[in-house]
Each structure stands twice: as structure tokens, then as C-alpha cells.
């Protein structure tokens, strides 16, 4: 049995490792167009600003380690340019010599990941204009930042905010362009993220949109805004979101789903019986809505890759539906979310979805480091079912507090049931009634 | 309707507030033998070491505030010396003038709290020997610490460890006496607590037991150990655990339960139909074992007081069974637990209870502040049901991570179900597979 995997990051290597462990005699080969495997893209903003000093620290496991320790052959700098389902083969181009060849598979896994969205007018090619697609970009941005005094970040999402924070920490004067910031959060939390960004020293231009980029006569890049103004930066980093890399799948005739991600069932099978897909190139299933959704996140990518590997080995393991649990630090503010936002809930058909927002102390007022946590819970006013939760506050609690709500949603709890969870209290950590508990209590009382 | 409440801390004032809100015309009077209401005992160690500068900061709400803002009459410095169920009255002694009087009730709530356990030979009375019963003790300890160079702490539980840490932070040379430390935790975590204590500069004497205390000829207190040695301290703080203050209840003929705590049903009713009990004087029901248990903790005390108040008003609200979720900081180590320990599980009849312990990074290795988290999960090997969880690691995560397991146990999850919870990942907060998830995964694989 010959298994080919396209893509050597989280989903691909998780699958490869599972297959190797369960079927030691099978052939497992991975084609990765870059030079690295299991590179943590999430760490890139922290390298770009110098908090992480060595790019290789972001690599969890190298191709050599995979080969030596797990017996998995990874062909780096090999780009799969076509999938031929009829012949059960892929066309692979060796980027080192430009030569293409066909490789046959019995089963194929597409783990091609995501690609940055490129806003019109900001196409790559302008010197000093960067996208974050891989660790090599991170290295180039770091080099540019080392000689820069000003930077422009385009995009107020996770990556944009993290890059802005890290470049500012590195001493650059940073301007952030974006219509809103942290817009996957409820408006009450967006405004907190914006305030934290500004307090951190970033020059945020609310409501702005970048529509062009060109070399600036005085050096660096001139970013043109929709309003006509231009903003100069010695370097420009665009973090405008991602899209699934699903071109190969589309050209091979595989069904695409939400946001053109490769459509998969709970077993990670595509519309072709010999082709699986997992990770940021694939659609996932939402735990609350039960519908297909495109939520590219590291933990689901790892898990779904593993499930794909198991099922390639003949098991019928179902992948866990996603909640989109995620966290973000913007200077002194942590933000986190899980499940559905209010608009998402209403759009998904929860017509009686409502939201309760509370502000509570993170620790007793007398304790040093106490701050305010804002917690939003989204729930069904009729049934009381918890549908989502979001929060913002001192970073040391928020990134973990969200998991209490993720667990509660996974356990299909109502807000009343979630309000009864017994959380830990000691002054260095929290208050007697944790803000998460208060939010659920207030929600229950509001019904 | 006349409601009397004995005790003005968490449970008593939670009940009083509920009753006042629901039955504005009823008489609600509280007898509190101290001078304060709603004083947070959990904050005392942080005052003793000077981290919290003002004792009054620990008070959530004063008697005057209760009277002015909520219309609740609190008689401070009034000690209830007897309950007379036949006459539906209590005997109250005004500590200001020494006069006793009888007060009638229609319904009575006992919220008398807990008292420190006094090891034989360490009876109060020796100058410089302190117990923590209330804020006044805290004030006296703080005063003594201000002039001291050395301190002895007797007891390696929550209070003992917190007091030792805070006195050491304040610059005192601290010796801690106790057979073990953090002994409500699994042995693997006890040793971590001990190491952190020693690393923090506390002179811990493993296996030691204090059997006597007397004035030391050179000043301060000489604590005598079971082995015959003595240890001198300019002050000595004993934190040897607590027992329910149930003498009034016992003398009134009320049934006592586990550890002589006042026996109550899920409605917080004692064996007398007109008397309720809640908080640290009362037994609680364990969520996992379904049995009576004595777990004096702030959150259940508040909740159960509130439930008692509701039921005094004629509702039939059931109180939430407890998990004993709690957290503790010992210098640079956070410890937390929820549900059953392995021994407790086996004693409670879970014959196939087993434990899985994992050690994982708290954040990506490349991220500053990354440390090791040790997570223990206790579960039923046959059914997979999660019975308890404990952890130790960098404080910023542990005190909240435990709540994920508390939520999972509340949702009656198996380790497999808990392993599927989607936790948040971003480098400042955690790793892709949170240590809690890994522990549950390893547990599931070990079955």
C-alpha cells in the first residue's frame, strides 16, 4: 500500500505519523513544497518582533527527524502540481531541478494548508511588502524589521494584531490599517482590542482600507488607502486573512465546500474514495451548527490529520467537530472565543439566540495584577443552551478561561448548567465566582 | 416571618441577601461574633506578608453597607451560645456588655463556619503563637511579622504553604513543619510543591510534627518536634486544617455528618425542619461519589448559602454537589485540583479507578515563560469516566486549566470525551494540544 501526502505541516505530518505507527510496512511519502516540516506558523509574529530569537525554534520536527525517528520520507521542495484521480497519481515538480514526474498512490491525503488572502492592489512584488506564508517570509520580515524604523500592518485579524504588537515591541513605529480590529469578536470586545492596540503605541487608522502599494520615493513602501491618503512604512506586512489552498482539489474535480475548502465528511474523506483531506485546506463541521464551516486552526488541523491517517489505515474514526476555540494577545489584553458569535448563531438558525455581556474583576480587587474581564456568552433564550462564549481581559486568565466554556458547549450544557460548574478560587488566580460563572448566571437570570 | 442567621461571612450573608431580595417584608437578622461581615479569609496569607497593605481591603461588604444597601441588620460582636429548637429561639450573648438574651425565629440558618484544628501541645496562649481564625488574627500576625526575623509555620496545607510563602516574601527566615506538604494532591504533585517551597527559600523539615510550643528563653517561641528537637521562631503560625464549627448544632440535637459537619440535604435543611445550615459548618454532597463530604471552600459556601436563603423563602432549589475544585500558589508553582484523588476514588468504591500522569510544556518551548505542567487525571479504567484531575505548573495557567476538567466532570464526560474538547491555542497561552487534553488522551490510550 502506497500513501502519498501533499503538505508537510500539522495535518500532513500528523497523518503520516499515524499511518507509519499503524502500518509499519506501508509506504508513506510526503511532498512539501517548502524546506521544512511541522513549522508552527502561529509562532511567526513572535519571531518577527525578536521575542523568539531563532527561526528554527519554531520547527517542531525536521524532515530529517521524521525520516530518522519515524521512518517517514519527506520530499522537501517538491510541489505537487496536479492530482490525477483516474490514474491514482499525482504530478510532482522537484523545485530544485525543475523536473516533474508522476507518482502513484493507493490513497492520497491533501494537506495543502491555507494561503494568504491578497487584497486587490497589494499583490506581492513590491520590495518591502510582505506576506506570511511560511518561515522563509518570517526570516525576510525579521531582516527588514532590523533595519526599519516604521512599519505598516494591513489587517486587524489575529496575525495582523500579533505582528503589529511584536513590531512595536521591537521599537518600530507601527501603523495598522484595517476597517475594524478583532472582528471575529463581539463589538464590545473589538473596542477593547482597539483600545489595547492604541495604548500599546500602535497608530491604528479605524475604518481604513488598503487599496494599493508601491515603492515610496523616500524609501520603503507607500500604502494607498481607499480614502486617497497614503501611509509610508519601511516595511509593510499584510495579514488580511487566509483561504484554503484547494486549487489542486478543484482541478482534480473534488467537491469544494464552505469558502471553497475541500469538502470532507466526518471521516475526512473527499468526494473521491481514495482521496482524503485535512487541515487548513479542508472544510470542517461545526459542533453547534452541525454545518460545514471553514475554520483554519492548529488544533483541529492536527486532530483531523490524525483522523485522516487512522481512516487511511482502514479505521472509521470520526473527527471531532470544531468550535473555533482560539485566543489572541494584543499587548496587555487577552482575547479568546469559542463556539458561535451572536450573528453567527442567528445566521445558523438559532432565532432566539441572545447575548449577555458582563464585566468582572479577574482577581480580588486587593490582589496585585487584578484587572477587568469582559465575558460575553451567546445562548438560546428559549432552551438556555450555551452556543458560544468570548472574553477579553488580563492575558494570564483569558486564554484558559475560555476552555471552561468550550468544555461546557462540548457537554451540551445550558447556561444554568454551566453556571453551576465549580471553578477554582484562590486570590492569585481568580475571584470566588469566576467571571465565566457570573456571565452564565446573569444569562440564566435574563431568560 | 422572622429569620435569624448565625454567622456573617460568605454563607450567612449570601442567604441574608437572597431572603431580603425575595421577601422584603420579612425580618432578617444576622448574629456575628466578630466585628466584620464578608471577610475573605482566603486573602489573609497575602495580608500577613504585606502583599495586601490594608486589612479592610479583604472585607467585601461591611455590616453598615449590608444595613444601608440591603436592609439587613447585622449584630456584630454577638455570639449565639445556644439553639433551642423546642422554643424556636437562640440565646445570644452581646460580647460588648456580656449580657445574654433569647431571640425567637421562625426559621434559622446556621452559618457558623469552620474553626482551626488545634494540634495537641499547640494550644493558643503562648505569646507569639498564632492561629488564623479571622481578620483580627491577621492583623496581629502582620504586626508580629513586622518586628520578626524568623517564623515557624506549622502545617503544610493550603494556609500553611501560603503563609510560609508570604512571610518569606516579606524577608523572614521561615521554617515549615509538617509531615508532608500539599497532601490533598497526588504524591507526584506533592514533591513538586515541596521542591518549590524549598526553592523559594523556606526551610522545610520533611516528616516533622509539632508537639509543643513554649516561650523561648531567647525570645519568640520554641516549637517542640515529635523527634525531640526544638525550632525557634520569632512568631509561629499554625495552619493545621479546619473543622466545622458544629457545637451549637450538636448541642441542639441536630444530626451531624461527615467529620462532624452539620448534616444537610440538597436543600440545605438540617434534621430540624426549621433549621438550615450552609457553608463551612455544613456537610456537602460530592458530585462524583454522591456521598456526604466535608469540603470547606469559598465558592460552595457562597452558593449553598444562597440556596439556603432561597429555600427559607419557600423555594425548593437544590444545591450543586461539590467537586472540591481548588487552587494554590507556592512561590513559582501553581497547584490545582478537582474531583477525586486516586485514593479517594478507590475508597469511594470506584474499584477500577486508575491514574495517568503526564508532563507537558505549558507554552511552546520557544516562548518566554514556558514551563512544565504536570497533569494527573483519575478515571475509571472500565468505563473511562473522568473522576478527578490535578495539576502543577507555572501559576498563570494552572488555576484556570483545572476548570476545564471541572467542567468535563460536571458534564459526566469520559476521558475520551474530555480529550476531544477544543482548547484555545496561541503561543502566549498554551501549546497546540493543551496538557489537559494530552493527559486525557494518554488516559484513554492506557485503558
Which one, of B187, B159, B141, lies nearest residue B298 by Cα?
B159
**CATH code assigned at B203:** 3.50.50.60
Q: How far is A395 from chain B (nearest CA, A)?
A: 8
The answer as to whether A356 is a domain residue is: yes
Domain tally, chain B: 3
Beta strand spans in A160-208 (E): 173-178, 203-206
Q: Decide which of B184, B218, B238 is a domain's last residue.
A: B238
**Mutation for B interface: A49, A369, A421, A441, most B CBs within 10 A:** A421
Question: Do B136 and B148 fall into the same domain?
Answer: yes
pLDDT tens, B125-145? 999 999 998 899 999 999 999
Q: Quick check: B422 and A406 CB within 8 A?
A: yes
Residue A329 in this model has a pLDDT that exceeds 80: yes
The answer as to whether A50 is a domain residue is: no
The answer as to whether A6 is a domain residue is: yes
Question: Do A94 and A123 fall into the same domain?
Answer: no
Output the pLDDT for position A133: 86
Question: Do A8 and A94 fall into the same domain?
Answer: yes
Cα end-to-end span (Å), chain A: 57
Question: Do B177 and B85 fall into the same domain?
Answer: no
Question: Do B155 and B100 fall into the same domain?
Answer: no
The answer as to whether A60 is a domain residue is: no
Contacts of B297 in chain A (CB under 8 A): 425
Q: How far is A119 from chain B (nearest CA, A)?
A: 25
The answer as to whether A246 is a domain residue is: yes
Contacts of B411 in chain A (CB under 8 A): 407-408, 410-413, 417
3-state secondary structure string across A126-166: CCCEEECCCHHHHHHHHHHHHCCCEEEEECCCHHHHHHHHH
- The reply to whether B338 touches chain A by the CB within 8 Å rule is yes
Active site residues of B: 42
- The reply to whether B320 touches chain A by the CB within 8 Å rule is yes
* Percentage of chain B lying above the pLDDT 70 cut: 100
pLDDT tens, B59-116? 999 999 999 999 999 999 999 999 999 999 999 999 999 999 999 999 999 999 999 9
Q: Decide which of B193, B209, B238 is a domain's last residue.
A: B238
Contact assessment for residue B232 and residue B220, using Cβ atoms and an 8 Å cutoff: yes
Q: For residue A167, how many other CB atoms are within 10 A of its CB?
A: 28
Question: Do B369 and B394 fall into the same domain?
Answer: yes
What's the mean pLDDT in B185-208? 98
Facing residue for B406 by CB, picked from A367, A398, A421: A421
Question: Do A97 and A125 fall into the same domain?
Answer: no
The answer as to whether A53 is a domain residue is: no
Residue B375 in this model has a pLDDT that exceeds 80: yes
Q: Decide which of A238, A257, A272 is a domain's last residue.
A: A238
Facing residue for A299 by CB, picked from B365, B396, B423: B423
Listed by number, the residues of chain A in 156-175 with a beta carbon closer than 8 Å to a beta carbon of chain B are 158
- The reply to whether A407 touches chain B by the CB within 8 Å rule is yes
Q: Which of A42, A281, A313, A440 is catalytic?
A: A42
The answer as to whether B326 is a domain residue is: no
Q: Strands B235-238, B150-154: parallel, antiparallel or unpaired by DSSP?
A: parallel
Question: Do A291 and A342 fall into the same domain?
Answer: no
Output the pLDDT for position A40: 76
Question: Do B123 and B205 fall into the same domain?
Answer: yes
Question: Do B375 and B355 fall into the same domain?
Answer: yes
Contact assessment for residue B325 and residue B288, using Cβ atoms and an 8 Å cutoff: no
Q: Quick check: A404 and B407 CB within 8 A?
A: yes
Q: How far is A256 from chain B (nearest CA, A)?
A: 25
* Percentage of chain A lying above the pLDDT 90 cut: 96
pLDDT tens, B20-31? 999 999 999 999
Tell me the ipTM for this assembly.
0.97
The kind and range of the H/E element at A189 are helix A187-199
Question: Do A207 and A259 fall into the same domain?
Answer: no
Residue A194 structural domain? 118-238
The answer as to whether A217 is a domain residue is: yes
* Percentage of chain A lying above the pLDDT 70 cut: 100
CA distance A312 to B421: 24
Residue A101, C-beta contacts closer than 8 angstroms, at least 6 positions apart: A91, A92, A94
Facing residue for A399 by CB, picked from B298, B365, B430: B430
Q: Quick check: A424 and B326 CB within 8 A?
A: yes
* A392 backbone dihedrals φ, ψ, rounded to 5°: -145, 140
Contact assessment for residue A378 and residue A339, using Cβ atoms and an 8 Å cutoff: yes
Facing residue for A323 by CB, picked from B325, B412, B422: B422
Question: Do B378 and B412 fall into the same domain?
Answer: yes
Contacts of B361 in chain A (CB under 8 A): none
What's the mean pLDDT in A104-116? 98
Which one, of B247, B245, B211, lies nearest residue B229 by Cα?
B211
- The reply to whether A266 touches chain B by the CB within 8 Å rule is no
Q: Quick check: B407 and A425 CB within 8 A?
A: no
Contacts of B401 in chain A (CB under 8 A): 400, 403
- The reply to whether A142 touches chain B by the CB within 8 Å rule is no
- The reply to whether B362 touches chain A by the CB within 8 Å rule is no
- A-B contacts (CB, under 8 Å): 223
Q: Answer left, alpha or beta for residue B225, where phi above 0 means left and psi between -120 and 50 means alpha.
A: beta
Amino acid at each position: 500500500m502506497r500513501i502519498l501526502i501533499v503538505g508537510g505541516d500539522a495535518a500532513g505530518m500528523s497523518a503520516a505519523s499515524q499511518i507509519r505507527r499503524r502500518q509499519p510496512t506501508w509506504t508513506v511519502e510526503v511532498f512539501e513544497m517548502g524546506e521544512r516540516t511541522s513549522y508552527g506558523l502561529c509562532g511567526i509574529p513572535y519571531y518577527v518582533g525578536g521575542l523568539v530569537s531563532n527561526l528554527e525554534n519554531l520547527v517542531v520536527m525536521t524532515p530529517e527527524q521524521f525520516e530518522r525517528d519515524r521512518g517517514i520520507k519527506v520530499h522537501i521542495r517538491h510541489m505537487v502540481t496536479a492530482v490525477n484521480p483516474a490514474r491514482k497519481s499525482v504530478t510532482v515538480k522537484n523545485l530544485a531541478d525543475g523536473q516533474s514526474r508522476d507518482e502513484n498512490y493507493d490513497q492520497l491525503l491533501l494537506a495543502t494548508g491555507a494561503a494568504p488572502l491578497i487584497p486587490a492592489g497589494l499583490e506581492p512584488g513590491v520590495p518591502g511588502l510582505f506576506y506570511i506564508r511560511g518561515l522563509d517570509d518570517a526570516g525576510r520580515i525579521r531582516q527588514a524589521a532590523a533595519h526599519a524604523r516604521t512599519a505598516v500592518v494591513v489587517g486587524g485579524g489575529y496575525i495582523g494584531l500579533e505582528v503589529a504588537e511584536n513590531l512595536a515591541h521591537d521599537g518600530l513605529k507601527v501603523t495598522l490599517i484595517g476597517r475594524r480590529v478583532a472582528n471575529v469578536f463581539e463589538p464590545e470586545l473589538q473596542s477593547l482590542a482597539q483600545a489595547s492596540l492604541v495604548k500599546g503605541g500602535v497608530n491604528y487608522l479605524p475604518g481604513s482600507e488598503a487599496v494599493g502599494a508601491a515603492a515610496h520615493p523616500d524609501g520603503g513602501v507607500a500604502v494607498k488607502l481607499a480614502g486617497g491618503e497614503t501611509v509610508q512604512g519601511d516595511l509593510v506586512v499584510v495579514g488580511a486573512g487566509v483561504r484554503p489552498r484547494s486549487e489542486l482539489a478543484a482541478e482534480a474535480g473534488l467537491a469544494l465546500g464552505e469558502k471553497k475548502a475541500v469538502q470532507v465528511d466526518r471521516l475526512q474523506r473527499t468526494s473521491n474514495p481514495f482521496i482524503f483531506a485535512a487541515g487548513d485546506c479542508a472544510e470542517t463541521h461545526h459542533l453547534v451548527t452541525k454545518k460545514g464551516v471553514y475554520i483554519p486552526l492548529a488544533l483541529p488541523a492536527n486532530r483531523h490529520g490524525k483522523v485522516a491517517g487512522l481512516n487511511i489505515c482502514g479505521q472509521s474514526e470520526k473527527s471531532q467537530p470544531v468550535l473555533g476555540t482560539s485566543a489572541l494577545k494584543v499587548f496587555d489584553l487577552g482575547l479568546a472565543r469559542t463556539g458561535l458569535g451572536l450573528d453567527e448563531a442567528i445566521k445558523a438558525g438559532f432565532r432566539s439566540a441572545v447575548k449577555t455581556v458582563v464585566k468582572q474583576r479577574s482577581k480580588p480587587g486587593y490582589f496585585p495584577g487584578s484587572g477587568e474581564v469582559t465575558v460575553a456568552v451567546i445562548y438560546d433564550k428559549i432552551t438556555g443552551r450555551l452556543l458560544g462564549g468570548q472574553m477579553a481581559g488580563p492575558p494570564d486568565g483569558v486564554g484558559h478561561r475560555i476552555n471552561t466554556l468550550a468544555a461546557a458547549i462540548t457537554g451540551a450544557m445550558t447556561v444554568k448548567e454551566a453556571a453551576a460548574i465549580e471553578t477554582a478560587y484562590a486570590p492569585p488566580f481568580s475571584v470566588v465566582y469566576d467571571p465565566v460563572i457570573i456571565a452564565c448566571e446573569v444569562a440564566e437570570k435574563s431568560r
